[in-house]
């Protein structure tokens, strides 16, 4: 896979792993890092051998400690707007790519780091993780979608509490409010995430993709429209070899061999 200055990208067993790699700055997101994340995500989206993407942070302390405050401190209003639009675009690329993206949060996920994790399909974190949107303490608001995704995930009242106070919550509180799906020991985080991801990879990739689209698009639509979306995608599955193989394998009492076709 391609070489990037601020992220590492590797693939094995159909699983791509993108590691934000600026550990000295706790993987803070500057413009170049955002551009690397976007290019790497697009590479994975186009790579036939990558079925799932895991995003994590280098080092033992942080997933991503936020947008780079030293970089942001000197921005003009116009540059700030451009920076917010860039981050939003990068995170939308992740959110809308036709493959599952799992955040393996291994430490601080603050500000832009929490926003990056929330743009993924779900989050599994280590016990030492900390989450929060501390932007109000810096005199700004979240700029990479945090004020929009947080209420969609944890509900508007809890989101407002976190956004207004800027408080940092630990992994167990993140689990309690439904921000993360599970909390693992730091040692076992990648093992657990990989196990989960291997289950995803063993399924029909087209149907996994349709599930992602159905949830994402359905969440933004009224119930009638979202039911139509589901019915349409359900119908489309019957145009795939995977549907024929999946149902045939069940009836023959064997494990399906999906081809993603
Ligand atoms: N940006 C830049 N550098 C950071 C950073 C960050 N967000 N977080 C940490 N670092 C750097 C530190 O400056 C330090 O660098 P050196 O001093 O060694 O050169 C190094 O990482 C290690 O950090 P600490 O020495 O502070 O480590 P500690 O363990 O003592 O503390 C910490 C860890 C995560 C509690 C602390 O570093 C911290 O509070 N960091 C800032 C967390 C934060 O507030 N994050 C949210 C950032 S705001 C927008 C676009 C985007 C956003 C908003 C608006 N628009 C364009 C409108 C998003 C905003 C954010 O993400």
Alpha carbon of 66 to ligand 1 centroid (Å): 6
Q: What percent of the chain has pLDDT over 90?
A: 99
Q: Is the CB of 80 under 6 A from ligand 1?
A: yes
Q: Which atom, in ligand 1's list, is nearest to the CA of 61?
A: 29
How many domains, the chain? 2
Alpha carbon of 94 to ligand 1 centroid (Å): 23
Look at residue 165 in the predicted model and tell me its pLDDT: 98
Per-residue model confidence as pLDDT tens digits over 21-78: 999 999 999 999 999 999 999 999 999 999 999 999 999 999 999 999 999 999 999 9
The gap between the terminal CA atoms of the chain, to the nearest Å, is 23
Q: Tell me, yes or no, whether 102 and 221 share the same domain.
A: no
Q: Tell me, yes or no, whether 169 and 239 share the same domain.
A: no
Alpha carbon of 98 to ligand 1 centroid (Å): 31
* Residues annotated as part of the active site: 115, 135
Rounded mean pLDDT, 197-213: 97
Rounded mean pLDDT, 114-118: 98
Q: Is the CB of 86 under 6 A from ligand 1?
A: no
Alpha carbon of 108 to ligand 1 centroid (Å): 10
DSSP single-letter state for residue 13: T
Relative to beta strand 52-57, strand 101-105 is parallel
Q: Is the CB of 66 under 6 A from ligand 1?
A: yes
The two counts, helices (H) then strands (E), for the chain are: 11, 10
Q: Is the CB of 201 under 6 A from ligand 1?
A: no
Per-residue model confidence as pLDDT tens digits over 227-258: 999 999 999 999 999 999 999 999 999 999 99
CATH of residue 240's domain is 1.10.12.10
Q: Tell me, yes or no, whether 76 and 191 share the same domain.
A: yes
The rounded distance, in Å, linking the Cα atoms of 129 and 190 is: 14
Task: Tell me the residue range of the domain where 231 lies.
Answer: 205-251
Per-residue model confidence as pLDDT tens digits over 119-154: 999 999 999 999 999 999 999 999 999 999 999 999
pTM: 0.97
Q: Tell me, yes or no, whether 209 and 191 share the same domain.
A: no
Q: Tell me, yes or no, whether 211 and 132 share the same domain.
A: no
Q: Tell me, yes or no, whether 18 and 106 share the same domain.
A: yes
Q: What are phi and psi of 188, to 5 degrees?
A: -100, -5
Q: Tell me, yes or no, whether 142 and 212 share the same domain.
A: no
- Is residue 259 in a domain? no
The rounded distance, in Å, linking the Cα atoms of 187 and 181 is: 17
CATH of residue 54's domain is 3.90.226.10
Q: Is the CB of 84 under 6 A from ligand 1?
A: yes
Q: Residue 220: pLDDT above 90? A: yes
CA distances from 108 to 45, 135, 167, 201 (A): 27, 14, 13, 28
Q: Is the CB of 143 under 6 A from ligand 1?
A: yes
Q: Give the model's confidence band at 198: pLDDT under 50 very low, under 70 low, under 90 confident, else very high.
A: very high
- Is residue 73 in a domain? yes
Supply the residue whose CA is at minimum distance from atom 19 of ligand 1: 25
Alpha carbon of 48 to ligand 1 centroid (Å): 36
For the CA atoms of 115, 117, 123, 128, what is the dihedral angle to 10 degrees? -90
């Amino acid at each position: 896979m391609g070489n990037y200055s601020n992220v590492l990208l590797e693939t094995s067993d159909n699983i791509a792993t993108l590691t934000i790699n600026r550990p000295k700055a706790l993987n803070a997101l500057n413009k170049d890092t955002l551009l690397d994340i976007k290019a790497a995500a697009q590479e994975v989206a186009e790579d036939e051998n990558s079925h799932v993407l895991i995003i994590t942070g280098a080092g033992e302390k942080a997933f991503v400690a936020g947008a780079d405050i030293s970089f942001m401190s000197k921005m003009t209003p116009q540059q700030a707007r451009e920076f917010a639009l860039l981050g939003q675009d990068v995170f939308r690329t992740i959110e809308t790519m036709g493959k599952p993206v799992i955040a393996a949060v291994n430490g601080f996920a603050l500000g832009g780091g929490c926003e990056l994790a929330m743009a993924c399909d779900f989050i599994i974190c280590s016990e030492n993780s900390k989450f929060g949107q501390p932007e109000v303490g810096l005199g700004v608001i979240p700029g990479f979608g945090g004020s929009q995704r947080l209420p969609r995930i944890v509900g508007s009242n809890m989101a407002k509490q976190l956004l207004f106070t800027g408080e940092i919550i630990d992994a167990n509180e993140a689990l309690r409010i439904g921000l993360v799906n599970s909390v693992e020991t730091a040692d076992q985080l990648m093992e657990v995430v990989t196990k989960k991801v291997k289950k995803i990879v063993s399924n029909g990739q087209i149907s996994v993709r349709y599930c992602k689209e159905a949830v994402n698009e359905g969440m933004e639509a009224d119930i009638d429209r979202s039911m139509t979306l589901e019915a349409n995608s359900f119908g489309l599955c019957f145009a795939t070899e995977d549907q024929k193989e999946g149902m045939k394998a069940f009836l023959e009492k064997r494990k399906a061999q999906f081809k993603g076709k």
